[in-house]
Amino acid sequence: MARHYDTLFIGGEWIAPSSADRLTITSAATEDVIGSVPEGKKADADKAVAAARQAFEDPKGWAHWEPAQRADALERLAAELDKRAEDTARTIASQNGIPVTVTAATESFFPAATLRYYAGLIRELPVEISHASPFGNQTRVRREPIGVVLAIAPWNFPQSLSATKIAPALAAGATVVLKPSPETPLDSYIFAEAVVAAGLPAGVFNLVPGGTEVSEYLVSHPGVDKVGFTGSTAVGRSIAVAAAKLLRPVTLELGGKSAAIFLDDADLNLATIGEQLFLSTLVGNGQTCFISTRILAPRSRYSEIVDTIAGFASHLKVGDPLDPTTQIGPMVSRVQRDRVEGYIAQGKSSARLVTGGGRPVGFDKGWYVEPTIFADVDNRSAIGAEEIFGPVLSIIEYEDVDDAIRIANDSQYGLAGTVWTTDHDRGLEVARRMQTGSVGVNAYLPDFSSPFGGVKSSGIGREFGPQGLEAYVQYKSIYNG
């Protein structure tokens, strides 16, 4: 059943938008309309920032609550999200085409778990500590919330990647304006409904759906103190430029072209590694920033690895994202499918197509692309170097471990990566030499208690872990005479 919302959530109330313009959301699988929301404009953004500012500056408000009181509220919000878990998973799967089994394991789990993690963290951390200064006096150091936070979420994992900003910001005592992706705004309304049910104070969380115009306006808004963004590197660069002009801190989690280094002793038994290989390389229909889309294979086992990866990909079930047996669903939109198919066309002229490369048979509607594997890929070609964001893997040959690490590091990106080996210590040694923000050995799964983020063109700053909380606090030193 389609969901149509007529209001924005600002200042703790559902209010009428300033414009009659709307965002229409279609199913990635059927192309049918599944909902619509108001398209926020500059006037709506102003109201949201003003509400967040008022809530932040209230001398008895959120920023001044005891950490334990805020923690209690975050745990209530987590409980309300749990009640809506199934609805959230199905809504997101319908919007972006990512299989419901994946959205149930991520979008229905990570946001609540992240809220509970930061609730626990702020219960333990002191707001103020004192120490003896070199001058014989005492200095007090206070942790204070950064202010009004603009959180901009992408369409691939909209709830989880909103939570990486909302949870630590609220835990720190900041207030939030969320700008969801125009492709996937419906689940943000479910989140807002949970905020209401949890009893968070008015203005602590505000929701303004919209497109590029309202995003750019909010990023440069004088009432915003911090921007947290997940999305493409190109957009991240534009946000960084705008923030630099305002001397505004940003956290940017951007694109990736991560490498999976298969060492010469890697286990290639799909019965053993198949599940983790899928989660590390093709989860989310390939629409996942951290997946290892460059497969680096040693010359001594190159043909064997090509055959293994091709067999693995060709047997994945493509289908309706709401079908619990589906492993690969459609791309989020026609535009994204066209982009992926453009890269596949380039790959056919520069590398060897092993499997896939077209649209799956039997799908007359929806933005489907077959899981596609290319071998004999040049690391600096388009399909070897650029983020495709679809179910396309590139296999690259290497000579020895030093060569593998050189190829893995020869990238503008550095978000994640994996190492595949039966020698765990050897895997750790290789992982330490990879220029990237995170690495998995024989598996990959972000851990919300540990920092996550990228180097080079994959971003600035870290989310998750204590470091994620640090991004939303500022320090004040008080010197005693």
Catalytic-role residue among 183, 253, 341, 397:
253
Residue 137: CB atoms within 10 A of its CB come to 10
CB 274 within 8 A of CB 311: no
Give the distance from CA 180 to its chain's centroid.
12
Pairwise CA distance, residues 9 & 216, whole Å: 20
Cα 51-89-446 angle, rounded to 5 deg: 85
> Is 253 assigned a catalytic role?
yes
Give CA angle at 50 (207, 62), nearest 5°. Answer: 80
Write out the DSSP string of 56-120. HH-TTSGGGS-HHHHHHHHHHHHHHHHHTHHHHHHHHHHHH---HHHHHHTTTTHHHHHHHHHHH
**How far is Cα 51 from Cα 80, in angstroms, rounded to an integer?**
23
Name the nearest CA neighbour of 121 among 446, 474, 447, 449: 449
| Catalytic, out of 289, 370, 387, 397 | 289
Long-range contacts of the stretch 459-463 (C-beta < 8 A, 24+)? 459/236, 459/251, 459/252, 459/253, 459/254, 459/415, 460/240, 460/250, 460/251, 460/252, 461/250, 461/251, 461/252, 461/253, 462/251, 462/437, 463/164, 463/165, 463/168, 463/228, 463/251, 463/253
Q: Residue type at 212?
A: T
144 is catalytic: no
Q: Identify whether the C-beta of residue 55 lies closer than 8 Å to the C-beta of residue 228.
A: no
Q: Please identify every residue annotated as catalytic.
A: 253, 289
